Amino acid sequence: MRGHESSVFSISVHASGRYAITTSSDTAQLWDLDTFQRKRKLNILQSVGIQKVFFLPLSNTILSCFKDNSIFAWECDTLSCKYQLPAPPESSSVLYKVFAVTRDGRILAAGGKSNHLHLWCLEAKQLFRIIQMPTKVRAIRHLEFLPDSFDAGSNQVLGVLSQDGIMRFVNIQTCKLLFEIGSLDEGISSSVISPHGRYIASIMENGSLNIYSVQALTQEINKPPPPLVKVIEDLPKSKLNSGGLKMKVTSGRVQRPAKSRENKIQARILKQDLTGNFENKENEASDGLNKKRLQILLKGYGEYPTKYRMFIWRSLLQLPENHTAFSSLVDKGVHVAFLNLQKKYPIKSRKLLRVLQRTLSALAHWSAIFSDTPYLPLLAFPFVKLFQNNQLICFEVVATLIINWCQHWFEYFPNPPINILSLIENVLAFHDKELLQHFIDHDITSQLYAWPLLETVFSEVLTREEWLKLFDNVFSNHPSFLLMTVVAYNTCSRAPLLNCSLRDDFEYFFHHRNNLDISVVIREVYHLMDTTPTDIHPNDKLDAFVALTKGQYPVFNQYPKFIVDYQTQERERIRNDELDFLRERQMVEDMQAEVDQQRVEDEAWYQKQELLRKAEETRREMLLQEEEKMAQQRQRLASVKRELRAKEMHLQDATRRRFLKLQQDQREMELRRLNDEIERKVHMRDQEIATTAKDLEMRHLELESQKRLYEKNLIRNQEAVAKEMREDSDTYRRKVDLEEHMFHKLIEAGQTQNQKTQKLIEENLAEAEQACLNADWRIQALHKQRCDDLQRNACYQEVAKLLRENRRKETEVLNAMVGEGARKVRMGLQIFLLFIV
């Protein structure tokens, strides 16, 4: 149930339970609770907010109150505006916040941030009273009327909850403050009154929940008349005054003495005890109730007080409250006769249906006759509805009714009780022969004008209040009172009955409510009870009241057992036959369903195959079309490929030519570079050779000069030849080692510095030649040394040969490197051409 954009703060339900109105600050919506669908939505301007929208009790009128104090009334069915209340006077202008309506829907109370309370008469559509609350009241937070069973819905007491947490109850006619609940120390946050006005439940500001007894609060105000109080003085006063709180009436207001802190908790406990005693007084059977005194009270008021009615009924019927016996009946489960009760009696309330089904099943388990009694649901339904929250009491009330007020009803079962109907007809013949003759003339029997009233115990022709009032008298008198009520109902309705001539009119009359005062009917019953002769009076034919026995319920066998047994057997046989028939029908239906399912599946299969065949043809056509398109696309692609191939060949040819030209240019450049390198190296070699020749010449000259110097000194140093030879020998060995060391170094550095090595070798050769020249004069003495010199010269020649071989290999490596560079250039050009392609 969506639709509100802001939070919902008010829900109002129609008296029929079919419609509901939900209200938020910006809109109100009307819902159908049968379908949970929205029927209508009330949209307003944002500047004018909604205060409250609700149904008036017992009417089809919707009242909408807005924040600008405008109040409209709408018809629920047509949603047309019925009227608008005029604006309140400026002297007492109040912005309405809270509202309350009496149960009859005639008076509207409205209040807000003020101590003024406005009372509107909705019939006259005008403000008829303004009540000024005490000065302590600055704002009104909640309004609610206090219901009363004897004011016919025109509630006179209004509860006003103000900002100080105190709820004051005011009589709107006398404008007197009757009583108040709550205090400044223990303020009330919110409060609600029970539907019958017996209790007030309040949530306190400290979080506790207080329940107040209205009877205890108003016992000084609503004192019953002295004679009646004197009659029922048997009730112990301690039950009502157990709280110990004394109240004084001062100018119409009940005041309680100030309570100290010490006895505050004690007072709260006493209030709870008071409530507990009040509930126990209603739930427990009391021996202090005297039937004669109750009859006197009943004749005085015409009915029992609503607060005490159930308590009085249980006392009059002397219900034993056999919990164990009733539990054993309930534990047997739902009787087979009432499994499908909802089909015959479709009750909207699921709870009420379950209680009715359980009660009827318990009666059927108690006595077999009730499983075959067709009118038992009609007989029990009003009591089930009345006692739906206490199933034990409901069962015992119905059982007591059957044993006492339904005596001899089952002697002609399954036919209506002819003997009882004959008693009614005899009494009617005595008191109103004309009406009975009218029935006879139109072929209307007692089964039509008496039996419908008995089997429904008048629940179809009376309202709830009328029915309760009638059974206050029925349960307070002899069982024959119910039969006399049938006669009185007919005699009091003789005028419309005499005007009826069709059977359908009579049937409608005895199955629907009629414009008849039940009080007149009850007075007529008492008159018939007193004036009917003894020979036809039902008193002699019916036994006196007998209560149910305690512990176990009595055996009920006041019916023709053989008929019930025969009907039970026949019903069982019919049930078995019906089960067999249903089983066979189920099998046939299953087979038929299988055949239908197979046929449907076959049809679906054929349809599917046809669809598949059509789809296949469609796909084939599409495939042919696609193949044609593909062939055309292949032809176009082939032509494009040929064009691309021709372009590619042209590009490759042009690239090849460019590459060849580039390669030729690179080779020419390489050749020029190599020629330049060769020329440079030849020039360097020539320079080195010339430099070496000059060096050799200079060395030769130096050697010649040294030779002459040595020759000059040879003679000079002959004395020290031996010594000098030894020194020369040592010097020669060191020199040889040095030359070998230098030779190894030259070999190691020969690969990187060829020309330097050659120079060093030439220098060594020159030194060797110089050494040879110096040693010529020692040839004769140093023959061995000369042989070594010759061997060393051979080694030098071999080294020169190796150097020449190394130079040749270097030239070959250089040529190989040039060829490898050219090959890499060609490979790079090929990759470049492939990348271009």
- In order of start, what are the domains of the chain with their CATH numbers? 10-221 (2.130.10.10), 414-542 (1.10.472.80)
Question: Residue 188: is its pLDDT beyond 90?
Answer: yes
Residue 248 CA to residue 254 CA, distance in Å, equals: 5
Backbone torsions φ then ψ of 320, nearest 5 degrees: -80, -20
Lowest mean pLDDT among 18-27, 217-226, 734-743: 217-226
Place of tokens 């100030």: 258
Question: Residue 237: is its pLDDT beyond 60?
Answer: no
- 458-478 pLDDT, tens digit each: 999 999 999 999 999 999 999
Lowest mean pLDDT among 278-292, 446-460, 607-621: 278-292
Place 492 in a pLDDT band, splitting at 50, 70 and 90: very high
pTM for this structure? 0.41
Residue 96: enclosing H or E segment and its boundaries? strand 96-101
For every residue of 453-496, DSSP letters joined together read: HHHTTTTTTS-HHHHHHHHHHHTTS-THHHHHHHHHHHHHTHHH
Q: What is the mean pLDDT of residues 285-303?
A: 75
Question: Residue 396: is its pLDDT beyond 50?
Answer: yes
**pLDDT (0 to 100) of residue 225:** 45
**pLDDT (0 to 100) of residue 278:** 35
3-state secondary structure 5-73: CCCEEEEEECCCCCEEEEEECCEEEEEECCCCEEEEEEECCCCCCEEEEEECCCCCEEEEEECCCCEEE
Question: Residue 320: is its pLDDT beyond 70?
Answer: yes
- 656-698 pLDDT, tens digit each: 888 889 988 888 898 888 888 888 888 888 888 888 888 888 8
**pLDDT (0 to 100) of residue 248:** 30
- State whether residue 432 is helix, strand or coil: coil
Residue 294 CA to residue 481 CA, distance in Å, equals: 16
Write b or e for each residue in 332-364: b if 16 or more Cβ atoms lie within 10 A of its Cβ, otherwise e.
Answer: eebbebbeebeeeeebeeeeebbbbbbbbbbbb
Q: What is the mean pLDDT of residues 330-335?
A: 88
Q: Shortest CA distance to 115 belongs to which of 177, 206, 71, 54? A: 177
Lowest mean pLDDT among 53-57, 738-742, 751-755: 751-755
**pLDDT (0 to 100) of residue 273:** 36
**pLDDT (0 to 100) of residue 209:** 93
Question: Residue 436: is its pLDDT beyond 80?
Answer: yes
Q: What is the mean pLDDT of residues 434-456?
A: 90
Place 217 in a pLDDT band, splitting at 50, 70 and 90: confident
Q: What is the mean pLDDT of residues 575-580?
A: 79
Q: Which amino acid is at 150?
A: F
Question: Residue 484: is its pLDDT beyond 90?
Answer: yes
Q: What is the mean pLDDT of residues 538-562?
A: 81
Cβ atoms within 10 Å, residue 707: 15
**pLDDT (0 to 100) of residue 831:** 74
Looking at the chain, how many residues does it have? 837
- 593-621 pLDDT, tens digit each: 889 888 898 888 998 889 888 888 988 88
Lowest mean pLDDT among 286-300, 630-644, 661-675, 770-784: 770-784
- 103-138 pLDDT, tens digit each: 888 899 999 988 888 999 988 888 888 888 888 888
